[in-house]
Amino acid sequence: MKHIDISELFKNPSAYYGKEVTVCGWVRTSADVKPMVFIQVNDGTTSLKNLQLTIQRDSYTNEEFLEKIKPAMPVGVALKATGTIIESERNGIELEVADIEVLGGCPTDYPLQKKGTSVEFLRTIPHLRTRTNLFKAVFSVRARLAYAIHQYFTDHGYKYLHAPIITNSDCEGAGEMFRITTQPWNAQFKTEEEYNAKDYFTCKAGLSVSCQLEGEMAAVGGLGRIYTFGPTFRAEHSETKKHVSEFWHVEPEACFVDINEIIDMAEDFIKYVIRDAMDNCAEELAFFNKFTERGLIEKLKNVVESDFVRVDYTKAIEILEKNNAKFEFPVKWGDDLQSEHERYLTEVIYKSPVFVVNFPKDLKSFYMKQNPDNKTVAATDLLVPGIGEIIGCSERETDYDKLVEAMKIRNMALEDYESYLDLRKYGTAQHSGFGLGFDRLVMYVTGVDNIRDVLQFPRTYKHIY
């Protein structure tokens, strides 16, 4: 149906004063205050601004009011209204209604009435929670961040690669893949080989835990610089606020780039997308600053204006060991960093995002370049205040023999990685890349503290929302 977006009316209100327009939307609130009826509507083109419709009650007989206006007032109703735009001191603009039509009625048991509602309850109605201010703002910022990511890589000469979601290799080697099969639940076979031979792909297949290997093969295979941006899946038995089973992953890969250069790029990238959100989602961030995280805007401003700290893993451990009494999990060299350690470094010691560099090789994946000390790898995690790790980054191992050795130590099936290993024989080149958990970035920028609330339909251990 022909109508104008509410966002267009707010962009240039004076251009519409005195003009007749038609709008559509869902009722957010309404009030019958004789001699006027006020209805606030939102069509999804704005996060927080609703258009107020004003209706002269005495323009209708009692029968007409009950038949035409009253059904358009319940919260949740979808309607179409035609009228004249007028200037409003309180709302900027209003629509004086000449005609109104209910497009979709809404019963009184609609769960989003005008009252406080917990995010826990809203998770039970993911199909409706995007009508609330919180989730409209979250998904507006999420969309803008995704746009900025594509813009950044396009402007820097990266090609957008659509990597496969179905794979027969576990990129991380952690055994957390979701299995794909067409076999019936009660399939009976004597061996795994026989089972696989009868399956759809005639081999063991699963959902991708990362697009990195395919990204590496595309970059070193001749494209030079690529990035992937899509869903990945991990069957991790975790129920924390930071973990979901299906999440969105940004993974660039660049040839002729070492660990220090990829760190420079990761820092520039993070600052770019956050700055873009601050420039284009100011209204939403002001909302989050008030309702989800006090000081959010100042935190983001500090990120884009400061130089990120770089600290060697060994030095970071020394700092943490001196403060082990403060931690639930004391730490020593060779241990992975827990959330409390990451936050201590970023929020107490450095008060800044921190790159922790040169991790013990036993903590990291097989594909990371081994350092000359034979104990560590050229890998870094970017830690940010409030979240912890947001980017994992490394230079990739180009030495064929070292790569094979690392894979054998992890009992990986080399035949599943033949194409990947081939690139170390045919014109290999120094290359590096990183992985960004996009949903955690959305959490960081919005101040929302649970990853389930930055995805419309989160999938978590034991639960599909």
* pLDDT for the residue numbered 158: 98
Reduced to 3 states (helix: H, G, I; strand: E, B; else coil), residue 43 is coil
Query: What tokens were used for 181?
Result: 């099969």
Q: What confidence score (pLDDT) does residue 416 get?
A: 84
Chain CA centroid to CA 348, Å = 26
Radius of gyration for the chain, computed over Cα atoms and rounded to the nearest angstrom: 27
The pLDDT of residue 172: 66
Domain segments of the chain as ranges: 6-115, 130-159+238-464
**Token output for 269:** 């990238």
Question: Along the chain (465 residues), what's the average pLDDT of each consecutive run of 10 residues?
Answer: 93 93 97 94 95 94 93 96 93 94 95 87 94 96 98 98 90 77 92 93 92 94 96 90 92 97 97 98 97 95 93 97 94 94 94 95 94 96 88 96 93 89 92 96 95 95 87
**CATH 3.30.930.10 at 130-159+238-464, yes or no:** yes
pLDDT at 223: 97
On whether the CB atoms of residues 162 and 230 are closer than 8 A, the answer is: yes
Question: Do 91 and 42 meet the contact criterion of CB atoms below 8 Å apart?
Answer: no
Q: Which residues contact 93 (CB under 8 A, 6 or more apart)?
A: 9, 10, 13, 16, 17, 51, 85, 86, 87
Measured from the Cβ of residue 337, the count of other Cβ atoms closer than 10 Å reads 23
Predicted local confidence at residue 24, as pLDDT: 98
Q: What is the fold of 6-115?
A: OB fold (Dihydrolipoamide Acetyltransferase, E2P) (2.40.50)
